[in-house]
Amino acid sequence: MTTTIAVAGKGGTGKTTVASMIVRYLVEKQAGSILAIDADPSSNLHYVLGLELEETIGDIREDMLDQVQASSVTAGAMPGGMSKQDYLDYQIRMALVEGTSVDLLAMGRPEGPGCYCAANQMMRVIMDRMGDSYDYVVMDNEAGMEHISRRTTRDVDHLVLVTDTSQRGVIAAQRIVEMIPGLDVNIDKLYLVVNRVIGDHLAPPLAAAVAKIGVELTGTIPNDLVMSEFEFSGRPLIELPRDSPVVQAVFRIADKMLSNGQA
């Protein structure tokens, strides 16, 4: 049984950091095989995980569209006589970044006007099938949760909403909560995390705004100067010291999420 964990929030709130630390938590707990999916068009998850990314699903989609539109391609056939389904399967597996403890698949650019929708649907089927071979799927989403809303992935067991201490971050989290009932996907459990907190408690105005989101606060992550040094030097955040306040805070949050013995 695959456990799917999705992380969402406004860009810049630290959701990619949270996603990477959840991956690290699962690795250190030896929870099982892990597939990380970077569903944010900016594709930054590979940086924080210390992995090299050469191709995204968006790149494959563009190539597929070019192949289909080329006059030399006959209906239902791709290079080498492969079917479209087999070609997509092969290309997506080639785009999979295989790490020591975690594999990564990046979505890349969002679908645009005139997209080859049949190919995108086949990609979703392939990714769902790939996910079945992993114990955990950790998905870093953009704020609009475009890929979840279009059922790019399976139902979500744990959805982690990340906001920072800014008003825009809190508003984005609120909008995601309001969006959830209209999504064509089942979300089992919902969590709220506030990132870059200074001090031991949320300031009263921030605490009041967070309370209005309507989701119980699962935990907070402190502002960490060491993490800022890692970001500016280009070091993968996955290498943060084990005693880093960020690492410890996300591990506590992950413990609450997965306290049923899965990890």
Tell me: pLDDT of 245 over 70: yes
Higher pLDDT, 159 or 200: 159
The pLDDT of residue 91: 81
The pLDDT of residue 221: 97
The pLDDT of residue 116: 44
200 pLDDT band (50/70/90 cuts)? confident
Distances (CA, A) of 148 to 9, 140, 259: 13, 11, 25
The mean pLDDT value for 207-236 works out to 93
Quick check: helix, strand or coil at residue 169? helix
- Dihedral class, residue 12 (left if φ above 0, else alpha if ψ from -120 to 50, else beta): left
101 within a domain of the structure (yes/no): yes
Measured at the CA of 203, the angle between CA 171 and CA 12, to 5 degrees, comes to 40
- Return d(Cα 69, Cα 251) in angstroms, integer: 48
Residue pair 166/133 in contact (Cβ under 8 Å)? The answer is no
Residue carrying the six token digits 């506590």:
252
- Return d(Cα 244, Cα 78) in angstroms, integer: 50
Residue pair 6/160 in contact (Cβ under 8 Å)? The answer is yes
64 within a domain of the structure (yes/no): no
Tell me: pLDDT of 131 over 90: no
pTM over 0.85: yes
CATH number where 117 lies: 3.40.50.300
263 within a domain of the structure (yes/no): no
- pLDDT single digits (tens) 139-190: 998 766 665 655 555 588 999 999 999 999 999 999 999 988 887 778 999 9
The pLDDT of residue 1: 84
Q: Which residues pair with 160 in a beta bridge?
A: 7, 191
- Return d(Cα 178, Cα 175) in angstroms, integer: 5
| Structure token pair of residue 156 | 């979500």
Tell me: pLDDT of 198 over 90: yes
77 within a domain of the structure (yes/no): no
Nearest to 46 by CA among 109, 110, 120, 96: 96
Tell me: pLDDT of 137 over 90: yes
The mean pLDDT value for 90-96 works out to 84
Percentage of the chain beyond pLDDT 70 is: 80
Please report, as a single letter, which amino acid is at residue 258.
L
- pLDDT single digits (tens) 69-82: 664 555 556 666 67
Residue carrying the six token digits 């630390």:
21
71 within a domain of the structure (yes/no): no
For residue 218, give its domain range.
3-58+95-257
143 within a domain of the structure (yes/no): yes
Residue 29 main-chain phi, psi, to 5 deg: -80, -5
80 within a domain of the structure (yes/no): no
| Highest-confidence segment of 143-147, 194-198, 224-228 | 194-198
**How far separated are the first and last CA of the chain, in Å rounded?**
13
Higher pLDDT, 83 or 252: 252
The pLDDT of residue 152: 55
Query: What is the number of structural domains in the chain?
Result: 1
| Structure token pair of residue 75 | 């209906």
The mean pLDDT value for 115-141 works out to 72
Residue 53 main-chain phi, psi, to 5 deg: -115, 120
Helix/strand/coil (H, E, C) string of 213-229? CCCCEEEEEECCHHHHH
The mean pLDDT value for 26-34 works out to 95
User: In the chain, which residue ranges form alpha helices assigned H by DSSP?
Assistant: 15-28, 45-49, 57-69, 84-95, 117-131, 146-149, 167-179, 204-211, 225-233, 245-257
Q: What's the mean per-residue pLDDT of the chain?
A: 84
The pLDDT of residue 56: 84
Higher pLDDT, 208 or 38: 208
Higher pLDDT, 57 or 153: 57
261 pLDDT band (50/70/90 cuts)? very low
127 within a domain of the structure (yes/no): yes
